[in-house]
Amino acid sequence: MRRSLASFGCALVLLACAGCQRDEHRKKLIVIIVPSQDNPYFKAEADAAAARALALGYRVRVDAHEDDAFRQDNLVDAAIASNAAAIILDNAGADATVSAVRRATRAGIAVFLIDREIDATGIAKAQIISDNDQGARLVATEFARAMNGKGEYAELLGRESDSNAQIRTRGFHAVLDRYPELKLVSAQSANWSQSEAFQKTETMLQAHANIAGIIAGNDTMALGAGAAVKSAGGSNLRITGFDGSPDAIDAIKDGELRATALQPAVLISRLAVDEADRLLRTGSTGEPELQIIPCELVTASNADNYRNFEKVR
Amino acid sequence: MNSTTRNQPRTSRFAWAAARAVLFFLRARAILVLLLLLVLFSVLAPEFLTANNLSILTKHVAISALLAVGMTFVVLTGGIDLSVGSIAGLGGMVAGYLLTQGFSFGGAMYFPPVAVVILLTICACLVVGALNGWLVAKAGVAPFIATLGTLYIARGAALLISNGKTFPNLGGGAVRGNTGFPAFGQSFMLHVPTPVWMMVALFAVTWVVATKTPFGRHVYAIGGNERAARLAGIRVAQVKVITYVFSAFCAALVGLIIAAQLEAAHPATGESFELNAIAAVVLGGTSLMGGRGSVTGSLIGAFVIGVLADGLVMLGVSEFWQIVIKGVVIVLAVGLDQLQTRLQARILPYLTTAQAEEGKS
C-alpha cells in the first residue's frame, strides 16, 4: 500500500512538470466573473466580454458567483491560482468584494469591475458602470408623460440592500415628486423577482382599484406586474421597467410595457476588455478609474433599434 | 491452511478473493475517487498541482470539512442538521455587529476586543445548537423538521441584526482597540492557512472522540439502535444535545472564518452550505440511518467535493455542468454505499468463517 502511494506521488510530480512545460506556450488568461449565467443580462454581459477577449487573442474562462460573496472569493482565488492576467468582475456586493479585489491586485492581477461599483477606490484598475440615476430619471420622465402628469401609481422596488435599488428609486422620485397630481399609493419591494412582483401587484390592485401606473425598479418586476394586471383583467395601466432586457423590449413592442432604460451592458463589457488589453500591452488603461456610461430610453418608437442590451441600429 | 483447501472447492476460493477485492475497493471508494480526481485535474489543468493552488484548495475544503466533520456525530445518531449554513451566517453577523457597532452603555460606546467577539459569537451559535438538541432530544421533534425550523430562525435573525445590510470593514480600528479579526481567516501558520489548521485540529479531536472514548461508542450505539442504547443505560438525550451543540460550534467557526476572509459579514452567507456538508458526510460512507460511518470518511468526502468544485472551475467547465457533475457524484456515492452494504451482508459471514478456519490451522 505504502509503495503504491509513493509511486503514485511520483506520477503526480511528473504530471505537474509536464503541465508546467506546456504552460509556457499558452496564451494569457482573462477570467470573467458574473453573478449568474441563467439571467439574460449577465449572460449578455459575460458573452460580450468573452467574445471580445477571444478576438483579442486571450484564453477566457467564465464563472458565476450567484451573488454569494464567499463563492466570489473562491472564484477569485481560483483565478489567482490559474495565473490569470486580468479579471473582469461584476461583483457580489460593494463591501464584501473589497478584500477579494485587494488580494487579486496584490497577486499582480488587473481587476476590472463592471456594472457595479465597490466601496473602495485605487485597488481596481477600472470601475465601469451604467448611470442608474440618469436612467431612472429618463424612465420616470417617460412614465409621467404616459400618465399625463396625474393619477395614482404604485412603485415596485428592488432588493433594499442593493445600492442600485436605492439609486433608482431616488432617481424616480427626483422626477415624479415634482408632479403634484401624481400620487404614490403603494411602494413595495419585490426583490427584483418576477413571481414576487406578480403577487405584490395582485395585492396592491386589490387594495387600490384606481392605480393607473406602476413604475418598477427592473424589467423582471415590470413583467411580473404586467402579468398580474393582465390576470386581474385590467388594461391600459402604464408600466415601466429598467435594464432593457429582450423580454421587456418585446413587451414594449406588444404594448404591455411603456418604457425601459437600457443599461449598455454589452458596451461596458467590451470597454472593460479593451482597457484590460491596453493595460497588459502598454501598462496603462488610458482612462480614469471610475467611468459612468449613460443609459438609453427604449419606448415603442425606437424598440426595434435595441437587441440583447446593445444598440444595433 | 490445508484444511480450508481440502474443505472448499478451488473456484469458490477465487470468487472469494475477487469478492474481497471488490469489497476493498468499495470500502476505499471515497479515497480512490479523490485520487482519481487529483490525477485527472493535474493532467487537464497545468496550474492545478502547484503549491499555491493546493494551499488555496485546502483552504476552500476547510469550510465544508469543518461543517461535515461537525455534522458527522449528528448523522451517526440518526439525526441531521440542516441549520449549519444559517448558523454560520448568523455567526458572521454577530461578529460583524460586535466589531462595527459594539455595545452602548448609556451613550458611551464599548467595543469588545477580538477574542471576546469570537467567544460571544460562538456562544450565540451554541444557543441555536442547544435549541436544536432540545427540540430533537427533549421535545421529540423529528431532526429534519427541528433543524429546518432553526434554519429559518437563524437566517431570519441574521437578516434582522443588520436589517438585511452588510457589515463592512471588519478590519476594526486602532481607536476601538479591535483590530486583527481578519487574521482569523486570512493568516498563515508555517505557510499553511489558519482555517486549514483549524480543520486539522478539529478533525484530530473528533477522530479521537469517535474512536477512543465512551462518548464516541454511545453515539454509534444510539444510531445503531436507540432503544437498546437507552436500555443499556446510555443517556440518549444528553448525547444527542451534545452532538447538535458541537455541530453548531463548527458552524460558528465557519461563519467567523468567512467573515474574516471577506472582511465583511453578509446575512445571506452560508446558504446551502448544509447541503454540501451532508453530501460530504454521505460521500464519506456515513449512513443517514445512523450507526455506521466515520469522521475520516467525512473529511475525505469534503475533499472530494472541494477538489471537484475547484478543479471544474479551473478547467473552465460550464457552471451548469458543474452542478450536474456534482449531483452525479453524490448519487453514485450513495448507490455504491448500498452495493457495499448488500455485498458485505452476503460475503462477510463466509469471509469470517474462512478466516477463522485459516486461523485454526
Per the CB < 8 Å rule, is A99 touching B264?
yes
Q: Determine, yes or no, domain membership for B9.
A: no
Q: What is the mean pLDDT of residues B326-346?
A: 82
Give me the sign of the Cα torsion angle B349, B350, B355, B357: positive
In chain B, the residue whose alpha carbon lies closest to the alpha carbon of A34 is B319
Which tops the pLDDT comparison, A49 or B26?
A49
The radius of gyration computed from the CA coordinates of chain A, to the nearest angstrom, equals 23
The one-character DSSP state at B265 is B
Phi, psi of A29 (to 5 degrees): -110, 135
Topology alike, domains A10-124 and A132-262: yes
Does residue B62 surpass a pLDDT of 90? yes
Per the CB < 8 Å rule, is A82 touching B319?
no
Give yes or no for A3 touching B (CB within 8 A). no
* Architecture, CATH, for domain A132-262: 3-Layer(aba) Sandwich (3.40)
One DSSP character per residue, A34-91 reads: ES-SSSHHHHHHHHHHHHHHHHTT-EEEEEE-TT-HHHHHHHHHHHHHTT-SEEEE--
One DSSP character per residue, A120-150 reads: -SSSSSEEEEE-HHHHHHHHHHHHHHHTTT-
Residues B204 and B341 in one domain: no
CA distance readout (Å), B280 to A77, A135, B88, B297, B334: 22, 46, 17, 8, 11
Residues in Cβ contact with B346 at an 8 Å cutoff, skipping those fewer than 6 apart: none
Domain boundaries of chain A, sorted by first residue:
10-124, 132-262
Does residue B179 surpass a pLDDT of 70? yes
Residues B223 and B339 in one domain: no
Q: What is the mean pLDDT of residues B243-259?
A: 96
Give yes or no for B322 touching A (CB within 8 A). no
Mutation target among A95, A101, A109, A189 for the B interface, most CBs of B within 10 A? A95
Chain B contacts in chain A segment 25-54 (CB below 8 A): 26, 37-38
Write out chain A residues lying below 8 Å of B42, CB-based: 12, 15-16, 19
Residues B244 and B341 in one domain: no
Residue B16 amino acid letter: W
Q: Which pLDDT value is given to residue B352?
A: 63
CATH of A10-124, one of 3.40.50.2000, 3.40.50.2300, 3.20.20.70, 1.10.510.10: 3.40.50.2300
Q: How far apart are CA A291 and CA A277, in angstroms?
A: 17
Q: Model's pTM, two decimal places? A: 0.79
Instruction: Please report, for the domain that includes residue B223, its CATH number.
Output: 1.10.3470
Give yes or no for B258 touching A (CB within 8 A). yes
B11 confidence band (pLDDT: 50, 70, 90):
low
Residues B312 and B322 in one domain: no
Residues B69 and B161 in one domain: yes
Of the candidates B301, B310, B327, B321, the one whose C-alpha atom is nearest the C-alpha of residue B44 is B310
Does residue B9 surpass a pLDDT of 70? no
In terms of residue numbers, what domain contains B345?
317-356
Residues B138 and B109 in one domain: yes
Does residue B4 surpass a pLDDT of 70? no
Residues B321 and B216 in one domain: no
Residues B335 and B311 in one domain: no
H/E element, A179: none
Phi, psi of A155 (to 5 degrees): -125, 135
The radius of gyration computed from the CA coordinates of chain B, to the nearest angstrom, equals 23
Per the CB < 8 Å rule, is B310 touching A69?
no
Q: Could you give the dihedral angle defined by the CA atoms of residues B275, B280, B283 and B288, in that order, rounded to the nearest 10 degrees?
A: -60
Name the domain count of chain B: 2
Q: What is the mean pLDDT of residues B184-193?
A: 88
Query: Which three cell numbers mark A64?
Result: 458565476
Q: Which pLDDT value is given to residue A24?
A: 42
B10 confidence band (pLDDT: 50, 70, 90):
low
Query: Which three cell numbers mark A159?
Result: 432588493
Residue B332 amino acid letter: L
Residues B215 and B187 in one domain: yes
Of A68, A75, A98, the CB nearest to B313: A75
Q: Which pLDDT value is given to residue B150?
A: 96
* Widest Cα–Cα separation across chain A: 85
Query: Which three cell numbers mark A197?
Result: 412582483
Q: Determine, yes or no, domain membership for B47.
A: no
Chain B contacts in chain A segment 129-168 (CB below 8 A): 159-161
Per the CB < 8 Å rule, is B319 touching A37?
yes
- Secondary structure of residue B70 in the 3-state scheme: helix
Residues B235 and B300 in one domain: yes
Q: How far apart are CA B157 and CA B125, in angstroms?
A: 11
Q: How far apart are CA A260 and CA A266, in angstroms?
A: 17
Burial class (CB in 10 A: 0-12, 13-18, 19+), A247: middle
What is the nearest CA distance from A77 to chain B, expressed in angstroms? Answer: 7
Of A11, A26, A63, the CB nearest to B319: A63
Per the CB < 8 Å rule, is A16 touching B50?
yes
Write out chain A residues lying below 8 Å of B99, CB-based: none
Residues of chain A with pLDDT under 50: 1, 17-21, 23-25
Give yes or no for B48 touching A (CB within 8 A). yes
Give yes or no for A80 touching B (CB within 8 A). yes
In chain A, the residue whose alpha carbon lies closest to the alpha carbon of B266 is A96
B19 confidence band (pLDDT: 50, 70, 90):
confident
What is the nearest CA distance from B306 to chain A, expressed in angstroms? Answer: 11
Q: What is the mean pLDDT of residues B115-131?
A: 95
Residues B157 and B254 in one domain: yes
Residues in Cβ contact with B300 at an 8 Å cutoff, skipping those fewer than 6 apart: B30, B31, B34, B283, B284
B361 confidence band (pLDDT: 50, 70, 90):
very low
Across chain B, what does the average pLDDT equal? 87
The residue length of chain A stands at 313
Task: Count interface pairs A-B at CB distance under 8 A.
Answer: 112
Residues B164 and B86 in one domain: yes
Count of other CB atoms within 10 angstroms of residue B94? 26
Q: How far apart are CA B99 and CA B76, in angstroms?
A: 37
Of B39, B169, B268, the CB nearest to A12: B39
Residue B53 amino acid letter: N
pLDDT (tens digit per residue) in B195-221: 999 999 999 999 999 999 999 999 999
